[in-house]
């Protein structure tokens, strides 16, 4: 039996982490192989952190932040979006499939969206392993 994939989810403090917290306190079911790391803002996510996570054994990495236009630090999520393009290029350079990385926007009032996104990411990575 194969081990379940490990997904690292970098969640911004104000929105996506709050959505994850609400999903948990509401007892919503989502894959237990998500490892959430709370960051103050998605804009602080340097591409190197994503590569480090993959190089250290993570099967996938997600960055989850506030919806565009709703960042608590004004334009942090727009910075994260710009960096995600660099991350995509680096993944290719290092031999990782693009599907192992994703950037998503989740408000604090969207625990269902958080659950859906992490569940989809786990399934996507599982499919990569089987291919």
pLDDT at 3: 81
The pLDDT-based confidence of 1 (bands split at 50, 70, 90) is low
**Residues of the chain with pLDDT > 90: what percent?**
95
Geometric angle at alpha carbon 2, from 89 and 130, rounded to 5°: 50
Taking the C-alpha atoms of residue 127 and residue 81, their distance in angstroms, rounded to an integer, is 25
Res. 103: pLDDT tops 80: yes
Task: Tell me the torsion sign for CA atoms 118, 122, 125, 131.
Answer: negative
pLDDT tens string 33-83: 999 999 999 999 999 999 999 999 999 999 999 999 999 999 999 999 999
Structural domains present in the chain: 7-130 (3.40.50.960)
Average pLDDT over residues 98-124: 97
Res. 92: pLDDT tops 70: yes
Give the rounded distance of the alpha carbon of 9 from its chain centre: 4
Res. 14: pLDDT tops 70: yes
Choose among 97, 100, 112: nearest CA to 24. Answer: 112
Average pLDDT over residues 87-102: 96
pLDDT at 130: 83
């Amino acid at each position: 039996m194969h081990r379940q994939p490990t997904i690292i989810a970098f969640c911004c403090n104000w929105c996506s982490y709050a959505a994850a917290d609400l999903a948990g306190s509401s007892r919503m079911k989502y894959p237990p192989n998500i490892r959430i790391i709370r960051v103050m803002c998605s804009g602080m996510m340097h591409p190197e952190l994503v590569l480090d996570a993959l190089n250290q054994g993570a099967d996938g990495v997600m960055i989850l932040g506030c919806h565009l236009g709703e960042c608590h630090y004004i334009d942090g999520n727009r910075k994260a979006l710009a960096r995600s393009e660099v991350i995509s290029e680096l993944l290719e350079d290092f031999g990782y499939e693009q599907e192992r990385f994703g950037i998503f926007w989740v408000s604090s009032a969207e625990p269902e969206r958080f659950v859906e996104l992490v569940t989809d990411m786990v399934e996507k990575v599982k499919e990569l392993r089987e291919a």
